[in-house]
C-alpha cells in the first residue's frame, strides 16, 4: 500500500520573518506574492503579520538569535532571565565572562530562587543560543538600559570629543552630505541635475552604510513599478537629507546587532537634531562648529565622486554607441535618477576600505592608530580615454564650481521629457523580456571573447533571474 507523503514545512528564521514584514510594509506585494518569494504558504505569512509586534520586539532587543526558526521557551525561565540580566551587568563592567562562570552563577541563582536545578553544558549552550550570547564575531551585547544622555550644549573643541576613545574603531562612524551633479558632462553641469547623496562608513572602512539619495521635490516617474527593496540605494523625494528617518533606521540596525556606536556629525546637522528622542544605540558626536574637521574625510568623498564620474562616462559612451551622432549633452539628458541610484551604489562599493581607514587616521577621526594603505592611488580608476588627467580631475570636482551656461538639454525641461526617447519610460519589462535579454547578453559575451570569470558572474545573474521568473 502506497503511503501518502506529507509536505515538508519550510520554517523561516527570525531574520527572514523580519524581511517578510519589511517587504509587506515597503512594497505593494500581497501576502500570496511574498509567500511565493519565500517558498512558504500564505497562512504562514498571515501568522507572521499577526505576531508582528512580538517579532519586532525580539529583533530590536539585540539579544535574540536571528537565525532561529522556532522560539522554544526554557523550562527554568526565571533562572534564564536572571542570568541574562547578570551577564549584561558583567559585560558593562568589562568582566571576562566564561562558560564555567555562567554555570556557577546559574546554580547560585537557582539556589536563591529555591529551585532544584543543576545547569549542564547542554543547557548553557541552549541558553546562549536563545539569548544570542557568544555567537558571531562580536561578543559584547548592549546593556538592557540605555546610557545616560550627555549634557546639552555644543562642543567647542576643534578636535572630536574625548569620549570618542571609549569606542572601538569598528563602532565609530562618519557621514557626509555629498552634492552630486548626477548627469553632468565634462565642463558642464546644471543646478537641476543636482542631488544630495548621504555616505556613511566606520573608521575601519569595514562597514559602509547603504547610500541615500535625495534632492527632487517629487519621486520621478522612472521609479514607477520599481521595488525599493530591490534597489542597491535608497531614494527620498525631499530637497534635503531625511536625517530623522535615516537615524531611526541606523539605530534599529545597531539594535539588531546588539551594538552601541557613535556617529560623527557636522555641528550644523547636530544642532538640528538636538534633543531628538528615541536613539538608544547611536550616540551623536558633533564636530567643531568652524567646519575644520569633516565628519567624513574629504579624500573618501572625492574617491566616491571619482568612481561615479568614471562610471557615468562609461554609460554615456554606451548611450552614444546606440544613438549615432548624439552629443555628450544629449546622451546625458537620458540619464535618469534610477540610473544615478545604481551608479552611486556601485561607486560607493568601489571605494576601498584601506583608503577609508587611512583617511580617518589622517583626519584624526579614528580612536586608535591604524596602518595607512601602502598605495591608495593604485586602487583608483584609470583616467577615461579622451580626457587628460587635469580635465578628468576638474570633472570630478565639478560640484565646487559655478554651473556653466549652456548646460545639458535637460535643464530646460523635466526629466520625463528629456528621457522620453529610447532611454525613457516604456511598459514594464515582463519575465519573457528578462529571459530574452539574458540570451542576448550571453550571445554578446560569447562573440567578444570575454573572460571565464565574467561568465561566472553572468551565470550567477542568470540563475537569480530564472529563479525570480519561476517564482
pLDDT tens digit string along 258-303? 888 999 988 788 777 766 657 888 888 888 766 667 889 999 999 9
Report which secondary-structure segment, H or E, holds 197: strand 194-202
Kindly report the CATH class assigned to 77-131.
mainly alpha
Domain assignments of the chain as residue spans, ordered by start: 14-60, 77-131, 162-400, 429-471
Report which secondary-structure segment, H or E, holds 151: none
Which residues, in sequence order, are CB contacts of 231 under 8 Å at separation 6+?
Answer: 341, 342, 345
Round to whole Å and give the CA distance between 343 and 362. 28
Axis crossing angle, helix 121-131 with helix 77-92, rounded to the nearest 10: 70
Distance separating the N- and C-terminal Cα atoms of the chain:
34
Q: What is the pLDDT of residues 342-374, one digit of tens each?
A: 889 989 999 999 999 999 988 888 876 555 544
Round to whole Å and give the CA distance between 344 and 351. 11
Grouping H, G, I as helix, E, B as strand and the rest as coil, residue 315 is helix
Round to whole Å and give the CA distance between 33 and 193. 37
Per-residue pLDDT of the chain (471 residues; tens, 9 = 90+): 444 444 455 677 777 777 788 777 777 778 888 888 888 888 888 888 887 777 776 666 554 555 555 555 556 777 888 888 788 777 777 777 788 888 888 888 888 877 888 888 888 888 887 777 764 333 444 444 444 444 444 443 334 444 667 788 899 999 988 999 988 888 765 556 888 999 999 999 999 999 999 876 666 777 777 777 778 888 887 767 778 888 888 998 998 888 889 999 887 887 777 666 578 888 888 887 666 678 899 999 999 999 999 888 888 887 777 777 778 888 888 888 888 888 899 899 999 999 999 999 888 888 765 555 444 444 577 777 777 888 888 888 888 765 443 333 333 334 443 343 334 456 778 888 888 888 888 878 777 776 777 878 888 888 888 777 776
**Could you check whether 14-60 and 77-131 share the same CATH topology?**
yes
DSSP assignment letter at 307: H
Strand order in the sheet with 261-265: 234-236, 212-214, 194-202, 172-181, 261-265, 282-286
* Cell numbers standing for residue 393: 580631475
Q: Which residues pair with 180 in a beta bridge?
A: 195
- Within its chain, how far is the Cα of 267 from the centroid? 24
Q: Which residues of 408-430 are buried (b: 16+ CB within 10 A; e: fewer)?
A: bbbbeeebeebbeeebebeeeee
Round to whole Å and give the CA distance between 122 and 107. 14
Where are the extended beta strands (E) located within 211-268?
Answer: 212-214, 234-236, 261-265
- If 0-12 CB within 10 Å is exposed, 13-18 middle and 19+ buried, where does residue 66 land? middle
Round to whole Å and give the CA distance between 178 and 336. 18
pTM of this structure: 0.57
User: Taking CA 142 as the corner, what is the angle to CA 141 and CA 144, rounded to the nearest 5 degrees?
Assistant: 120
Which residues, in sequence order, are CB contacts of 391 under 8 Å at separation 6+?
Answer: 186
Could you say which architecture CATH assigns to the domain 14-60? Orthogonal Bundle (1.10)
* Cell numbers standing for residue 282: 547611536
Amino acid at each position: 500500500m502506497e503511503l501518502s507523503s506529507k509536505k515538508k514545512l519550510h520554517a523561516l528564521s527570525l531574520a527572514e520573518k523580519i524581511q517578510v514584514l519589511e517587504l509587506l510594509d515597503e512594497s505593494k506585494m500581497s501576502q500570496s506574492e511574498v509567500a511565493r518569494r519565500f517558498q512558504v504558504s500564505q497562512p504562514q505569512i498571515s501568522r507572521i503579520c499577526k505576531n508582528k509586534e512580538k517579532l519586532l520586539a525580539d529583533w530590536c532587543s539585540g539579544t535574540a538569535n536571528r537565525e532561529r526558526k522556532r522560539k522554544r521557551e526554557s523550562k527554568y525561565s526565571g533562572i534564564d532571565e536572571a542570568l541574562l540580566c547578570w551577564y549584561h551587568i558583567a559585560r558593562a563592567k568589562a568582566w571576562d565572562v566564561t562558560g564555567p562562570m555562567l554555570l556557577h552563577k546559574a546554580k547560585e541563582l537557582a539556589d536563591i530562587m529555591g529551585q532544584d536545578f543543576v545547569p549542564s553544558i547542554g543547557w548553557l549552550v541552549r541558553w546562549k543560543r536563545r539569548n544570542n550570547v557568544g555567537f558571531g564575531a562580536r561578543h559584547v551585547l548592549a546593556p538592557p538600559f540605555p546610557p545616560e544622555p550627555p549634557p546639552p550644549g555644543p562642543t567647542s573643541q576643534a578636535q572630536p570629543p574625548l569620549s570618542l576613545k571609549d569606542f572601538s574603531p569598528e563602532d565609530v562612524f562618519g557621514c557626509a552630505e555629498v552634492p552630486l551633479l548626477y548627469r553632468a558632462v565634462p565642463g558642464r553641469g546644471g543646478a537641476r541635475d543636482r542631488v544630495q547623496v548621504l555616505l556613511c562608513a566606520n573608521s575601519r572602512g569595514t562597514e559602509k552604510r547603504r547610500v541615500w539619495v535625495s534632492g527632487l521635490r517629487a519621486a520621478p516617474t522612472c521609479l514607477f513599478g520599481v521595488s525599493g527593496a530591490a534597489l542597491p540605494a535608497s531614494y527620498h523625494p525631499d530637497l534635503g537629507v531625511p536625517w530623522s528617518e535615516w537615524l531611526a533606521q541606523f539605530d534599529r540596525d545597531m539594535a539588531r546587532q546588539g551594538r552601541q556606536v557613535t556617529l560623527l556629525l557636522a555641528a550644523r546637522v547636530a544642532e538640528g537634531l538636538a534633543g531628538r528622542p528615541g536613539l538608544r544605540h547611536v550616540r551623536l558626536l558633533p564636530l567643531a562648529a568652524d567646519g575644520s574637521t569633516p565628519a567624513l574625510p574629504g579624500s573618501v568623498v572625492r574617491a566616491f565622486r571619482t568612481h561615479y564620474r568614471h562610471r557615468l562616462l562609461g554609460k554615456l559612451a554606451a548611450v552614444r554607441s546606440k544613438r549615432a551622432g548624439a552629443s555628450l549633452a544629449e546622451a546625458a539628458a537620458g540619464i535618469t535618477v534610477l540610473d544615478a541610484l545604481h551608479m552611486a551604489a556601485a561607486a560607493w562599493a568601489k571605494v576601498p576600505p584601506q583608503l577609508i581607514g587611512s583617511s580617518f587616521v589622517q583626519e584624526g577621526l579614528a580612536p586608535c592608530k591604524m596602518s595607512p594603505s601602502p598605495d591608495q592611488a593604485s586602487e583608483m580608476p584609470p583616467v577615461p580615454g579622451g580626457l587628460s588627467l587635469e580635465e578628468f580631475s576638474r570633472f570630478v570636482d565639478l560640484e565646487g564650481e559655478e554651473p556653466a551656461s549652456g548646460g545639458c538639454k535637460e535643464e530646460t525641461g523635466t526629466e520625463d521629457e528629456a528621457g522620453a526617447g529610447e532611454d525613457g519610460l516604456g511598459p514594464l519589462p515582463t519575465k519573457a523580456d528578462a529571459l530574452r535579454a539574458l540570451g542576448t547578453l550571453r550571445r554578446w559575451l560569447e562573440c567578444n571573447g570575454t573572460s571565464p570569470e565574467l561568465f561566472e558572474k553572468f551565470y550567477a545573474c542568470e540563475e537569480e533571474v530564472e529563479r525570480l521568473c519561476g517564482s
